[in-house]
Amino acid sequence: MSKTIDLDLVRHIGKLSRIALSEQEVGTFAAQLAGILEYFGKLQELDTEGVEPMAHAVQLHNVLADDTPGESLTPEQALANAPDRDGDFFKVPKVIGDSQ
């Protein structure tokens, strides 16, 4: 649990998040993230023996909707904020295959 934040970990997280980080930023974020983790580390002092892990911050469950169609956007609306389009498709750089 007491994983330390080193520079490599910040670079790795940056890569996973598709964020280009300068070496200076890597250093800054490593220090900041370490500070955050340390602060939350205080929680480790609590005795959680016999306490169920919490899956959600509010005590709600079974918020379920009926399977009845509602309004969707038009393709025009859906594509309005897209940086680029090809007809009614979102246009993105060439990729291979599907993610699934």
Least Å from the CB of residue 70 to another protein: 3
**Three-state SS for 95?**
coil
- Contact between 90 and another protein per CB under 8 A: yes
**Residues that contact another protein, how many (by CB under 8 A):** 41
Q: Which tokens go with 58?
A: 């509010």
Question: Is residue 3 a contact point for another protein (CB under 8 A)?
Answer: no
Place of tokens 């079974």: 62
CA distance 77 to 92: 18
Q: Which is nearer to another protein, 9 or 34 (CB)?
A: 9
Q: Is 9 exposed, middle or buried (0-12, 13-18, 19+ CB in 10 A)?
A: middle
Site for another protein (CB under 8 A): which residue of 27, 35, 41, 75?
75
**31 near another protein, rule: CB under 8 A:** no
